[in-house]
Structure 1
Amino acid sequence: MSYKIIVDSCGELTEEMKASGCFATASLEIQVDDYHIIDDETFDQEDFLKKVAASPNCPKSSCPSPETYMEGFNCEAEHVYAVTLSAELSGSYNSAVLGKNLYHEEYGDKDIYIFNSRSASVGETLIAQKIVECEKAGMTFPEVINAVEEYIRGQHTYFVLESLETLRKNGRLTGLKAIAATVLNIKPVMGATLKGEICQLSQARGVNKALQKMAGFIAEDIKDSEHKTLAISHCNCPDRALSVKKMLEEKMKLKDIIILDTRGISSMYANDGGIIVVV
């Protein structure tokens, strides 16, 4: 069976995924003051971070339209999947569902399924890779859905950011207790709940200590790690990502570790220096 996977642009794609011909991106959009940025292959992270640093305002994002998803579903592939960032954090999932409904109204029946990642960034990457694994194994469409949904339920997301201001100002930290004062250089260790909501796991003074705590949580939480692929995304800090990789390798055995630079939406929320880990 032929298949296509649409990943919204919060999810990073590896070079292998880009070259496979099986993937498409549904681009979110970002507004920084008067600058309108489409989160596609034209995204310039360096320029974006400069604009954010120079602006007194918080950047805003908007999700792909239902029509964008509908157009993506209109293809020759027999099985079509979409992977979106957590429905608790964005309207991308609901937009994809509406796009699916529009497609069915316009063109009729087709095997289309929308996965709510309950994560973001490389969490979406790993889910997309799981879909490919299932399709290559010859699973039926319902079998792929069941296997990937089970994988999502077992996925863990962690992150340490230099600043939580963008998340806070855009209402993504609703319900969390107040974070310790930035002047104390306290860095929270954050994660995602099973529902895809952001939660605070711990905190430490300084980024390095926070990253070490995060690595400890990961090693403690993940069972049968030798059979799992772990993904790290970083916002403009490759050396920091490599340091986290080393921390994890010292604590646990993993099937594979992939490292990717954040795309536009993940760069917006992670900010310069942010690290996201999903396994």
Structure 2
Amino acid sequence: MTVKILSDSACDLPDEIIEELDIEILPIIVMKDDKEYLDKVTIEPKKMYDDMRKGVVYKTAQIPPKVFEEKFEEIAQKGESTIYVAFSSGLSGTYQTAVLVRDSLRDKYPDMDIDIVDSRSASVGFGLLVHKAGMMAKEGKSKEEILNMLDFYVKHIEHIFTVDNLEYLLRGGRISKAEAFVGGLLDIKPILDIPEDGTLRPIEKVRGRKKLLKRMIEIMEERGGHADLKNQIIGINHGDDLEGALRLKEMIEEKFGCKDFIINIIGCAIGAHSGPGTLSVFFLNEKYEE
């Protein structure tokens, strides 16, 4: 039986990959004032970033329990073997809600075959898990094989990213007002990652864009130098800064000889909190053995 791969819009995979691998995506809610939108369904990232540059504030909300209930009931009634790969529990309540809803349906659907995986990752770092799961499902791999792969990826996926405007991190409580003020004056940019607990962590501060990208590559080498980076699929995404993303890609190609990339704009679910100009790179810190 083919395994169905289900995920949510915080994985930020390009539409063509989602369609090619027949991955189903549940949209996260994005809010402007009192109006709700569905990420990449009723609002596109470019529109949100243009608004944010004008000072418009966007917020997000997790997928409602009712949406999970309807989707899980549909899956149970069809008898589909499913893996739902969820946005990090360290950044959203989506994973916990999905588990609660699934478990509440057990009595009604005792044969329901849905595994829920906490990606403990975000954006295309999360997307690399979903992409690999979709590829393995298309190849006819068993659910056990896909779950074992996901367990490895969760433990070894690296996120290295930066934001262009510290104001968005300030709103999210990630930095202090003093740090945001001084950073803005001195052109200081933070480098952040997502550790194994799936939360957000500032790790360094760098002054100036050129030094920033160079340091991101250095950290990539420090963390992935023994992971056969050349033969990995490297994830890169951006907050409406394709030029910066392509420059980062060129630097990675020059340094490591990488050939395969997934590059995409950051969707509204993540971009509402990171803002325009964000740049990220994602990779494994250990080689995955098929």
Q: TM-score, normalized by length of structure 2?
A: 0.86
- The alignment status of 1:254 with 2:251, answered yes or no, reads no
Higher RCO (C-alpha 8 Å, min separation 6): 2
Between 264-273 and 161-170, report the one with greater CA deviation: 161-170
- Unaligned runs of 5+ residues in structure 1 are none
- TM superposition shift of 1:194: 1.2
Native 8 Å contact 1:28 1:63 kept in 2:
yes
Take 2:19 and 2:25, find their aligned partners in 1: how far apart are those partners?
Answer: 13
Q: Cα RMSD between the aligned structures?
A: 2.3
Cα separation, partners in 2 of 1:168 and 1:77, compared to 1, 3 Å:
farther
SS in 2 for 1:143: helix
- TM superposition shift of 1:259: 0.6
- The alignment status of 1:232 with 2:231, answered yes or no, reads no
Native 8 Å contact 1:166 1:269 kept in 2:
yes
**1:123-202 equivalences in 2 (<5 Å):** 123-171=125-173, 173=174, 178=179, 180-202=182-204
Matching residue's letter, 1:167: L
Cα separation, partners in 2 of 1:188 and 1:246, compared to 1, 3 Å:
same
Partner residue, 2:245: 241
Partner residue, 2:288: none
- TM superposition shift of 1:249: 1.1
Q: How many residues align?
A: 276
Partner residue, 2:64: 65
Take 1:89 and 1:142, find their aligned partners in 2: how far apart are those partners?
Answer: 27
Matching residue's letter, 1:189: I
Take 1:188 and 1:168, find their aligned partners in 2: how far apart are those partners?
Answer: 12
Partner residue, 1:106: 108
Cα separation, partners in 2 of 1:21 and 1:226, compared to 1, 3 Å:
closer
SS in 2 for 1:64: coil
Take 2:175 and 2:105, find their aligned partners in 1: how far apart are those partners?
Answer: 34
Cα separation, partners in 2 of 1:98 and 1:174, compared to 1, 3 Å:
farther
Partner residue, 1:6: 6
**1:211-230 equivalences in 2 (<5 Å):** 211-222=213-224, 223-230=227-234
Native 8 Å contact 1:49 1:272 kept in 2:
yes
Partner residue, 2:286: none
Take 2:15 and 2:37, find their aligned partners in 1: how far apart are those partners?
Answer: 23
Matching residue's letter, 1:274: T
Native 8 Å contact 2:5 2:24 kept in 1:
yes
Partner residue, 1:270: 274
Native 8 Å contact 2:187 2:207 kept in 1:
yes
- The alignment status of 1:49 with 2:49, answered yes or no, reads yes
- Unaligned runs of 5+ residues in structure 2 are 284-290
SS in 2 for 1:42: coil
Take 1:13 and 1:103, find their aligned partners in 2: how far apart are those partners?
Answer: 29
Matching residue's letter, 1:265: A
Q: Which aligned runs of 4 or more in structure 1 are off by greater than 6 angstroms? A: none
Native 8 Å contact 1:190 1:199 kept in 2:
yes
Q: TM-score, normalized by length of structure 1?
A: 0.89
- The alignment status of 1:37 with 2:37, answered yes or no, reads yes
Between 114-123 and 45-54, report the one with greater CA deviation: 45-54
SS in 1 for 2:11: coil
Cα separation, partners in 2 of 1:255 and 1:242, compared to 1, 3 Å:
closer
SS in 2 for 1:249: helix
